Amino acid sequence: MFSALMPVYNHAKYVKPAVMSALKSPLVGELLLVDDGSTDGSAAVVATLAARYPGRVRDLSERTQGNRGAHNRLNELVDAARCSWVAVLNSDDLFVDGRFDAIVAHERFRDSEFVFGNLLLIDTKGFFVGAKRGPFDTGTPFPATFDVERMVEGGDSALDLLAHQNYVGTSSNMVFTKALHARIGGFAPYRYVHDWDFALRAMALGRCVYIRRYLTAYRMHPTNTINENTGKVAVESKLLFDRLLRDFPHLAERPNFRIGIQHNPDLVSYHTANGRG
């Protein structure tokens, strides 16, 4: 059984579809919601859904009010989860039908701690507009020396690919154990790259599995956080990798990890903006 975790912020029109996509699966034992100080009526939607499904939906909004950020809210929800496995669902995204059945049926699931898959892309009305197959549909090409298929099959080489760009895509694409979350130390206080940082650390510390199936529908709209400021994303990316290499200095000894960082588009952008390009 899985605990699904949903921090909510100003997504009143998307919350109900997101909730229903989680409740469709009998493998979701509970859905934990917390409103992060929304101003659009999201809190009322959350309270209504929790009252409608009291056996499965828990509203934790009253515990800590105000806007604390997605990383803090996710850590709160993980701590409150009753299941050993948790699945993040951002309040504007959807779980794809059958995703949890596919996860538990995977031959490597029992030995894993962190699972992710492919993404469907939907628009504001929920219509299909595209798809991303993990590291095989990134938009930005990997360095020419990278054999992506071989690196994906190699397991731990997926970490080297992730050093170049966040092909996991979103925290809604992450399923992991509470034990791994504790070893990582939770989601770090980044606004734009907390999901990327968590995925890197999960691959550095845990046993990860990429399932070549569409697991999540990622909603594209003008207020996606990642669209706010590319300059700030580059700054956070620099902070992310500086901290990561302090905590895991052995990663710098991996040739492909170094190549990934060297050609990382966000780090290249940061260095160019700061006169080091």
Domain ranges, residue 79: 2-222
Give a yes or no: residue 133 inside a domain.
yes
Report pLDDT digits (tens) over 57-91: 999 998 667 888 999 999 999 999 999 999 999 99
Q: Is the pTM of this model over 0.75?
A: yes
Give a yes or no: residue 202 inside a domain.
yes
Q: How far apart are CA 53 and CA 57, in angstroms?
A: 6
Task: Flag the least confident range among 171-180, 215-224, 258-267.
Answer: 215-224
Report pLDDT digits (tens) over 140-160: 999 999 999 999 987 679 999
Give a yes or no: residue 105 inside a domain.
yes
Q: How many domains does the chain have?
A: 1
How many angstroms separate the Cα of 57 from the Cα of each of 5, 52, 79, 122, 255? 10, 8, 16, 25, 46
Give a yes or no: residue 191 inside a domain.
yes
56: domain CATH number is 3.90.550.10
Give a yes or no: residue 238 inside a domain.
no
Give a yes or no: residue 232 inside a domain.
no
Give a yes or no: residue 227 inside a domain.
no
Specify the amino acid at residue 27: L
